[in-house]
Amino acid sequence: MANVLITGGAGFIGSHTCLVLLEAGHQLVALDNFATSSPESLRRVLAIAPPAAKARLRVLEGDIRDPLALDQAFSLGGGRFDAVIHFAGLKSVDQSVREPLSYWDVNVAGSRNLLSAMIKHHCHTLVFSSSATVYGHPHHIPIAESAPVQPINPYGHTKAAVEQMLADLASTVIENQAVAPSAERPPWRIARLRYFNPVGAHPSGRIGEDPLGPPSNLFPFVSQVALGQRPALRIFGADWPTPDGTGIRDYIHVMDLAEGHLAALEALWNGPAQMLTLNLGRGRGYSVLEVVKAFEQASGRSVPFQFVARRPGDAPWSVADPSEAGRQLGWWARRDLEEMCRDGWAWQRSHPQGYRSVG
Ligand code: WQD
């Protein structure tokens, strides 16, 4: 059993990852400021997890920008964590364009704060929640980890900045292997995980994606149209250079993503000081129209739509080459689009208002 700090543990991917780690027998402290998440998600996680897990999850309300909150988290963990999984951050591309400094503050200054706390408390194993957004408009599809990092929005810039911070930390040891690790050059074990498009929900329908306000992402918007909460889906562009003219993305089930984090932790624990950079995607792209059709089939509801102008900053095509994660972690995304739609619909149908719904 390992002792793990999960920042942003109440969020969409964080809560699903907490569940997977509890089921694997680990002990967790979930730190979250609940600015874009609800503590209810972690209460649901405990309701789903095995009864014995209840004693293995402690929740602390706090902000990664607050050194005292981080000290509290480390002391709540008994003063020593075997690893940190760092989800806490802001993740809306649109919002990042409107409020860039908030993104640099939370995502970059917050991450720097966390790393200082990790060094202070002698923890040097980190899984970082990065994003395919760092690739910007990719030159080649599928996208390998060797593709240029060329973000095109403030959100992507902040993810790339934290990735660079981690690379600089890791290089202080890896390049100087001849030099024994020391207090100044501890043996960092880092995994930078670049998510493609996380969607769906735990099959129980009890935890899922709970966006604040009108969703900017496709899946939650389609779910709300299917439920009748919104009249129609606006499809951003029907003239993309794709088979049906609509945008293609690599959707990955959130449970596959959560399991990928456990696999990354296990690879780091069993490996040398290193930095892994891995795409977490399925390597299979679906167009907007294909998603609409699959969701209608899974939900039995119709999803009316209208074509509108392209969304600024959108790329026509984004699909991962996930083979490196397969080689390094022995992990592959297993769940298909039908399961993503079925599980996402089970959550949305039973939680029209997300965690603010009764039940
Ligand atoms: C998917 C497709 C849209 C909404 C974003 C972030 C990325 C990651 C995942 C955090 C595109 C189309 C969408 C709508 C539409 N988040 N669409 N109508 O833009 O690939 O990625 O979320 O890491 O960082 O950039 O996802 O779901 O917004 O769009 O037609 O109302 O659906 O044009 O082709 P995206 P998305």
* Any atom of ligand 1 within 6 Å of the Cβ of 290: no
With CA atoms as reference, report the closest residue to 249 among 138, 168, 345, 349.
138
Atom of ligand 1 at shortest distance to CA of 248? 34
pLDDT digits (tens, 9 = 90+) for 219-252: 999 999 999 999 999 999 999 999 999 999 999 9
The larger pLDDT score, comparing residue 39 to residue 176, is at: 39
> Is residue 346's pLDDT more than 70?
yes
Non-local CB neighbours of 282 within 8 Å, separated by 6+ positions = 196, 250, 251, 252, 256, 320, 322, 333
* Residue of 103, 135, 155, 195 with catalytic role: 155
User: Residue 187 has what pLDDT?
Assistant: 87
Question: Using CA positions, which residue lies closest to atom 5 of ligand 1?
Answer: 217
For residue 310, the 8-state DSSP code is P
Structure token pair of residue 91: 């993740």
Distance 161 CA to ligand 1 centre (A): 22
Ligand 1: which of 311, 317, 340 to mutate, most ligand atoms within 8 Å of CB?
A: 311
Where is average pLDDT lowest: 15-19, 70-74, 169-173?
Answer: 169-173
User: Residue 22 has what pLDDT?
Assistant: 98
Distance 14 CA to ligand 1 centre (A): 20
Contact criterion met (CB below 8 Å) for 123 and 80 = yes
Contact criterion met (CB below 8 Å) for 6 and 45 = no
The stretches of 215-322 forming alpha helices (DSSP H) are 218-226, 254-269, 288-299
pTM to 2 decimal places:
0.96
Question: Using CA positions, which residue lies closest to atom 36 of ligand 1?
Answer: 217
Distance 3 CA to ligand 1 centre (A): 34
Q: What backbone phi and psi angles, to 5 degrees, belong to 125? A: -120, 120
* Any atom of ligand 1 within 6 Å of the Cβ of 104: no
pLDDT digits (tens, 9 = 90+) for 81-125: 999 999 999 999 999 999 999 999 999 999 999 999 999 999 999
| CA separation for the pair 143, 246 (Å, rounded) | 19
Non-local CB neighbours of 14 within 8 Å, separated by 6+ positions = 6, 7, 8, 30, 32, 37, 85, 87, 88
* Any atom of ligand 1 within 6 Å of the Cβ of 235: yes
Average pLDDT of 264-270? 97
Structure token pair of residue 254: 């959130």
With CA atoms as reference, report the closest residue to 21 among 197, 217, 273, 13.
13
Question: Using CA positions, which residue lies closest to atom 7 of ligand 1?
Answer: 133
User: Residue 79 has what pLDDT?
Assistant: 85
Question: Using CA positions, which residue lies closest to atom 13 of ligand 1?
Answer: 218
Cα Dmax for the chain:
63
User: Residue 171 has what pLDDT?
Assistant: 85
Average pLDDT of 175-187? 62
User: Residue 5 has what pLDDT?
Assistant: 98
* Any atom of ligand 1 within 6 Å of the Cβ of 234: yes
**Hey, where are the domains in the chain?**
3-356
Distance 166 CA to ligand 1 centre (A): 27
The larger pLDDT score, comparing residue 313 to residue 33, is at: 33
Q: Does 155 participate in catalysis according to the annotation? A: yes
| Domain spanning 3-356, CATH class | alpha beta
* Bridge pairing between strands 274-280 and 286-287: unpaired
* Any atom of ligand 1 within 6 Å of the Cβ of 218: yes
Q: What percent of the chain has a predicted confidence (pLDDT) above 70?
A: 96
